[in-house]
Amino acid sequence: MIALLKRDLVLAVRAGGGFGLGLSFFLIVIVLVPFGVGPEAEILTRIAPGIVWVAALLAALLSLDRIFALDFEDGSLPLLATSPLPMEGVTLIKGIAHWITTGLPLTLVAPVLGFLLHLEPSAFGWLLASLALGTPALSMIGTFGAALTVGVRRGGLLMSLLVLPLYVPTLIFGAEAVARGAAGLDGLTPLLMVAVITLASFALLPFAASAALKINLR
Amino acid sequence: MSIWEYANPKKFIATTTPLVPWVMGISISCLVVGLVWGFFFTPDDFRQGSTVKIIYLHVPAALMAINAWFMMLIASLIWLVRRHHVSALAARAAAPIGMVMTVIALITGAIWGQPMWGTWWAWDPRLTSFLILFLFYLGYMALWEAIEDSDTAADLTSVLCLVGSVFAVLSRYAVQFWNQGLHQGTSVPVATGERSVSDVFFVPLLVCMVGFGLLFLALVLMRTATEVRARRIKALEARMR
């Protein structure tokens, strides 16, 4: 499992395009927002929590089809399926690898982008915490979506349609935690809900994803 | 004599085909009676005026929109566990009907909301969760269309339906948490047996609900039989080649 994780990370870093792309996309979306709604600090402060979360979600979505598609094309996915590692382990590792290459960097740069959007100072901690707890769920849900559509040619758009509705609860609770933090309130309740979604999706979705992969590899 | 006998497509079609006109007939008469009764023979509500009458379309459609997904969930489970093709096809057949019911509920709600709330749309928990339900239907149908091999498609959509159901319920509670609503609570709580609707409105509403339920049943049976026949044609074509 560790070897697979290392392999995926090395591939993501060295193959190019995957690692930095999501991050740059995140930055671009955040930069575009002030052009769209105007540079007034009050408006940006008001919408910053939601914008950062939506941008993180889109950036995570962007790299989802790389989780299985490349392995499917070059034939290493059937190899993984026949390896002694259970398929649930493979999907779990794929989800974790996706999080380390997209979710983790997104979380780390998010405070910087929060400055750009004049996020309330009291909300930075909540932003970091909610992204750190919430982006793993985005990766794992996305792994499930990628596993569903791995056999479909040009399945990227279809996958967005399938995955985005599944992202709704995570987005709501994550953005709510930051918004409450920005309003000077206690955002612990939504934060705990984000943690619940993350833990539950890591506990259950590898099974659903591996079931979908097995069907697709049949 | 067990219910699984009807998992045989031939038996299924032979049994349901003569039933469909009857179910359809009763459904249409229920709808005609219920709607005419509701529209012309009930008094106007003292606050809502005649707009209250859209309830006879709105509530049954919303009811069936949720129950259609529930039926798809059960059919998907049966397919995954017992691998009866009719079950998978029934789930597929129900999806577009459920989606149309969702749209009807959303549109009639908007038409009612304009004079009552002064807005076509509000980001209210119930409205939002219905919109999300609509997106789930879209994704489910798109996945069916995208995959060529029919057994693979049935398997994958079933898995999606199971996971989607969990997330649909989760979204329902998440949006409730996210925004307080304009939408009134349920008028006909089944569990407590109490009603906030007077009998004058409730009886025709009940007739309409029965009508919508039977309409859904008839359409699902018809569409399932169509899917079975379409698959037979495919199989015949494949054999001829």
The residue with greater pLDDT, B47 or A103, is A103
Task: Kindly state the percentage of chain A with pLDDT values over 90.
Answer: 26
Nearest to B111 by CA among B164, B169, B51: B51
* A149:B146 CB<8 A: yes
Whole-angstrom distance, CA of residue B207 vs CA of residue B55: 12
CA-CA distance, B95 to B136, in Å (whole number)?
A: 10
Instruction: Please answer yes or no on whether A166 and B178 come within 8 Å at the CB atom.
Output: no
d(CA A166, CA A148): 13
In this predicted structure, what is the pLDDT of residue B187? Answer: 56
Query: What are the beta bridge partners of residue B67?
Result: none
Task: Locate the chain A residue with the closest alpha carbon to B130.
Answer: A165
Work out the minimum CA distance from A197 to partner chain B, whole angstroms.
Answer: 9
Q: How far apart are CA B109 and CA B120, in angstroms?
A: 8
**Stated pTM of the model:** 0.86
Question: Do the chains contact at A211 and B163, CB–CB below 8 Å?
Answer: no
For every residue of B198-232, DSSP letters joined together read -HHHHHHHHHHHHHHHHHHHHHHHHHHHHHHHHHH
The H or E element that residue B2 is part of is: none
Confidence band for A185, pLDDT divided at 50, 70 and 90: confident
**Residues of chain A neighbouring B160 (CB-CB closer than 8 A):** 148, 162
With beta carbons less than 8 A apart as the criterion, state whether A157 and B159 touch. Answer: no
DSSP letters along A70-97, please?
A: HHHHHTHHHHHHHSSS-HHHHHHHHHHH
Rounded distance between C-alpha atoms, residue B37 and residue B56, angstroms:
10
Encode pLDDT of A26-78 as tens digits.
Answer: 888 888 988 888 888 888 888 888 889 999 999 888 888 888 888 888 888 88
Q: How many residues appear in chain A?
A: 218
The residues on A that touch B, with CB distances below 8 Å, are 144, 148-149, 151-152, 155, 158, 161-162, 164-166, 168-169, 172-173, 176, 190, 193, 197, 205, 208, 211-212, 215-216, 218
User: Of B103, B73, B92, B87, whose CA–CA distance to B141 is shortest?
Assistant: B92
- The ipTM assigned to this model is 0.84
> What is the count of residue pairs from A and B with beta carbons less than 8 Å apart?
72
**Angle in degrees, 0-180, between the axes of helices B125-146 and B55-82, rounded to the nearest 10:** 40
Helix (H/G/I), strand (E/B), else coil: A118: coil
Collapsing DSSP states into helix, strand and coil, what is residue A154? coil
| Nearest residue to A91 via CA among A217, A186, A202, A218 | A202
DSSP string, B74-97: HHHHHHHHH--HHHHHHHHHHHHH
Listed by start position, the domains of chain B span 54-180+198-236
B231 compared with A184, residue with greater pLDDT: B231
Structure tokens at B145: 């269309």
* pLDDT tens per residue, range A191-218: 999 999 999 999 999 999 999 998 888 7
Interface test with B, best of A68, A172, A189 (most B CBs within 10 A): A172
Rounded to a whole number of angstroms, the distance between the first and last alpha carbons of chain A is: 23
What's the pLDDT at B195? 56
pLDDT for residue B98: 94
Closest residue in B to A161 (Cα–Cα): B139
CB atoms within 10 A of CB B111: 15
In the block, tokens 């006909």 appear at B188
pLDDT of the residue at B1: 53
pLDDT tens for each residue of A137-157: 999 999 999 999 888 877 778
How high is the pLDDT of residue A81?
Answer: 84
Q: How far apart are CA B30 and CA B207, in angstroms?
A: 6
Question: Considering only alpha carbons, which residue of chain B is nearest residue A176?
Answer: B178
Nearest to A162 among B139, B147, B177 (CB): B139
Chain B residues with CB under 8 Å of A155 CB are: 146
Q: Do B167 and A152 touch (CB under 8 A)?
A: no
CA distance A69 to B146: 16
| 241 residues of chain B, pLDDT tens digit each | 577 777 788 888 888 889 999 999 999 999 999 888 888 877 776 666 677 778 888 889 988 999 999 999 999 999 999 888 888 999 999 999 999 999 999 999 888 888 877 777 877 777 888 898 999 999 999 999 888 888 888 999 999 999 999 888 888 888 877 766 666 665 555 555 555 666 777 888 888 999 999 999 999 999 999 999 998 998 899 888 8
Six-digit token string for A74: 């070059």
- Domains of chain A, by residue range, sit at 2-217
Specify the pLDDT at position B223. Answer: 93
Predicted confidence at residue A142, as pLDDT, reads: 93
CA angle A204, A207, A213 (to 5 degrees): 140
